[in-house]
Amino acid sequence: MASTTINVRVDKELKESCEKIFGELGFGMTTAITMYLKAVERNNGMPFPLEIPNKKTLDAFQEVEDISAGKKKAKRYSSAAELRKDLGF
CA 86 to chain centre: 29
pLDDT at 51: 87
For residues 32, 37, 38 and 41, what is the CA-based torsion angle, rounded to 10 degrees?
160
Determine the 3-state secondary structure of 66 from DSSP: helix
Give 11-23 pLDDT, tens digit per residue: 999 999 999 999 9
Give 27-67 pLDDT, tens digit per residue: 999 999 999 999 999 999 999 998 899 999 999 999 999 99
Question: Sign of the C-alpha dihedral, residues 83, 87, 51, 53?
Answer: negative
